[in-house]
């Protein structure tokens, strides 16, 4: 039984995959300091993750992936993790990272330190250090700018090629035979970095994560804060290369905290209408599928329709519409479950019968809410 956990961290992202063999993959990290106050609805992520690791007698993650370097994906992470490039970030109970996954853009941003967040600069230093060392890192995308950076640091692309994964490739080191999972990289594309200024959202990580149990496959579409243009590219290129199966999903996390910009350039008055190829991606979901929005509550009120920042109610309505067409299970919001006052992590189990949501009804009892996707294969 594998697990996927989404943590309620407000309008931000943190999720974790725990494989049946014990390996742990953390995607993004957003700890809000005020969450250490019991009255805050956001989870105390630092304490929660430490507790989970301690229960497993661990002080490390096998992989920590930062989809991109925006604050709501790295907030207070440099207080939590042990970094190899400087001793001041080591020891004192810091959590270790065996392998760091970053988009190439996170290494290559060249704005001055005072034009970027301090935490982003620290992670850029860590990623660069690991790439120079040649271990403990995986970089996604292989633009000319990365080759130039390696040359400037007396390295060659050939010497670091084993640490780089391009769009359209499966991440090495994990497979369905030994781990029951594989990670197919959809994005970033080379053009997202070489085409001009480095753009964080457009260059963020997007994966199709396939779990295989007893010859049945179940797919989790894991998306950073990408845009509708990138999603259309993903659909178009996947179809051109015969990778249509990499577009199907049983679990889908909405990009950019349920922003309309993940579906279209127009929010819509009552509902966001997705662009044609994004529509195809939404229609590639399976019966019994779930959609998760890692965001603040999304209320259907008159003021919400004029709200500028995500989450957007019009976009929620669009996701719910397509989920209903699929005979899907439910659209879930991290900061709404089980209620807005005290949300709890959303936990999904992945077993031979599909993806099922784990739900706690009472302190002394728990139950699996079974809306399994149909068997595949």
DSSP 266-293: ---SSS----HHHHHHHTTEEEEEEEEE
Judge if the upstream peptide bond of residue 168 is cis by omega within 30 degrees of 0: no
Check whether 60 has a pLDDT greater than 70. Answer: yes
- The stretch 340-369 carries a mean pLDDT of 79
**25: which strand partners?**
17, 63
For 148-173, what is the mean pLDDT? Answer: 96
Of 52-61, 88-97, 353-362, the range with the lowest mean pLDDT is: 353-362
Does this model's pTM top 0.85? My answer is yes
Confidence of residue 351 (pLDDT cuts 50, 70, 90): very high
Report the CATH superfamily, name and number, of domain 2-369: Ribonuclease Z/Hydroxyacylglutathione hydrolase-like (3.60.15.10)
Written as one string, the DSSP assignment of 81-95 is B--SS-GGGSSTTPB
Residue 115 pLDDT exceeds 80: no
Sequence-ordered alpha helix ranges (H) in the chain = 45-55, 71-74, 104-108, 118-133, 144-152, 157-160, 191-194, 228-240, 276-282, 313-325
Statement: residue 67 has pLDDT above 90: yes
Q: Assign 198 a pLDDT band (cuts: 50, 70, 90).
A: low
- Which residue, among 259, 125, 236, has the nearest Cα to 187 in the 3D structure? 236
Q: What is the enclosing helix (H) or strand (E) of 164? A: strand 164-165
Position 365 confidence tier, pLDDT thresholds 50, 70, 90: very low
Q: Which residue has the tokens 């051109």?
A: 240
* DSSP character string of 169-229: -BPTT--TTTTSEEEEEEE--THHHHTSS--TTTTS-EEEEEEEETTEEEEEEEE-S--HH
172-175 own/partner pairs: CB under 8 Å, 24+ apart? 173/99, 174/23
Residue 38's pLDDT band, with cuts at 50, 70 and 90, is confident
**DSSP SS3 for 10:** coil
With a CB cutoff of 8 Å and minimum separation 6, the contacts of 310 are: 11, 256, 257, 258, 259, 260, 295
Distances (CA, A) of 106 to 140, 318, 344: 10, 32, 31
In contact, 274 and 238? CB cutoff 8 Å: no
| Residue 315 contacts residue 272 (beta carbons within 8 Å) | yes
- Calpha distance 168→171 (Å, rounded): 10
Indicate the domain borders of the chain: 2-369
User: Most confidently modeled of 29-33, 38-42, 354-358?
Assistant: 29-33
- Mean residue pLDDT across the chain: 92
CA distances from 201 to 31, 77, 295, 335, 338 (A): 20, 19, 17, 22, 30
Question: Is the pLDDT confidence value at 163 over 90?
Answer: yes
């Amino acid at each position: 039984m594998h697990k996927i956990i989404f943590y309620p961290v407000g309008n931000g992202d943190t999720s974790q995959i725990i494989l049946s063999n014990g390996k742990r993959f953390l995607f993004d990290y957003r700890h809000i300091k005020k969450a250490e106050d019991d009255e805050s609805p956001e989870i105390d992520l630092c304490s929660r993750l430490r507790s989970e690791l301690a229960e497993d007698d661990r002080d490390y993650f096998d992989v920590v992936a930062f989809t991109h370097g925006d604050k709501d994906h790295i907030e207070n992470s440099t207080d939590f993790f042990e970094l190899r490039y400087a001793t001041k970030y080591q020891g004192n109970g810091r959590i270790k990272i065996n392998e760091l996954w970053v988009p190439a853009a996170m290494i290559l941003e060249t704005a001055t330190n005072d034009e970027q967040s301090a935490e982003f600069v620290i992670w850029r230093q860590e990623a660069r250090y690991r790439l120079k060392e040649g271990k403990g890192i995986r970089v996604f995308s292989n633009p000319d700018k990365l080759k130039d950076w390696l040359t400037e640091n007396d390295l060659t692309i050939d010497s670091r090629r084993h640490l780089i994964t391009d769009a359209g490739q499966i991440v090495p080191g994990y497979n369905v035979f030994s781990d029951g999972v594989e990670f197919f990289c959809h994005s970033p594309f080379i053009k997202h970095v070489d085409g001009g200024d480095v753009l964080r959202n457009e260059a963020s990580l997007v994966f199709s994560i396939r779990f295989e149990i007893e010859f049945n496959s179940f797919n989790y579409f894991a998306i950073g804060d990408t845009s509708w243009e990138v999603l259309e590219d993903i659909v178009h290129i996947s179809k051109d290369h015969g990778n249509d199966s990499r577009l199907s999903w049983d679990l889908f996390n909405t990009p950019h905290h349920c922003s309309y910009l993940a579906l279209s350039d127009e929010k819509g008055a009552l509902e966001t209408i997705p662009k044609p190829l994004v529509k195809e991606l939404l229609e590639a979901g399976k019966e019994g599928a779930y959609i998760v929005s890692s965001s603040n509550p999304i209320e259907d009120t008159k003021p919400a329709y004029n709200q500028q920042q995500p989450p957007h109610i019009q976009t929620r309505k669009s996701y719910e519409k397509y989920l209903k067409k699929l005979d899907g299970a439910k659209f879930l919001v991290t900061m709404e479950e089980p209620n807005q006052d005290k949300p709890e992590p959303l936990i999904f189990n992945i077993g031979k019968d599909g993806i099922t949501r784990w739900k706690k009804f009472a302190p002394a009892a728990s139950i699996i809410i079974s809306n399994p996707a149909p068997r595949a294969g």
